[in-house]
Amino acid sequence: MVTSQQALKKYGAPSASNPNMVVWDVPAELEIGLIPKKIYCNKDMVGPLSTAFKKLISTKAVNELKTWDGCFNIRKKRGLTSMSLHSWGIAIDVNAFENGLNQTPKLSALFVSCFTTSGFDWGGTWTRKDGMHFQLSKI
Ligand SMILES: [Zn+2]
């Protein structure tokens, strides 16, 4: 699992003007359902997110996407001292309202697999469950 130390080493200090950050103009064919039109994210997210979105659309799991709860956000992990990978724009949250920290995740196995087969780790399997959260599995 990617750690905040690895992210710091690879990308440098988190900042809105970090040179690794890009405004990804999501291709029109991927703007389905609640998938945003533009995402401010790390450049390394564009490939894996494109793949995950294509899978969400082709499997219709995209219909499960009820809220898009963001990518880039400089902050510590909730209740912890280490930085969240959101700080480098390499994590996203979805359906936060029903996949809260330490709650049993509501996302279907199909929805989750669209991400986990596209280069993401899912927080829903962690000891400290974070079912809304997907982050790059490698950087
Ligand atoms: Zn998250």
Tell how far the Cα of 27 is from the centroid of ligand 1, in angstroms. Answer: 23
Q: Output the pLDDT for position 6.
A: 97
Q: Output the pLDDT for position 137.
A: 98
User: Global pTM?
Assistant: 0.96
d(CA 52, CA 111): 9
Q: Is the pLDDT of residue 14 over 90?
A: yes
CA distances from 115 to 44, 92, 118, 126 (A): 15, 11, 5, 16
Tell how far the Cα of 15 is from the centroid of ligand 1, in angstroms. Answer: 17
Percent over 70 (pLDDT), the chain: 100
Q: Output the pLDDT for position 80.
A: 83
Tell how far the Cα of 126 is from the centroid of ligand 1, in angstroms. Answer: 12
Tell how far the Cα of 28 is from the centroid of ligand 1, in angstroms. Answer: 25
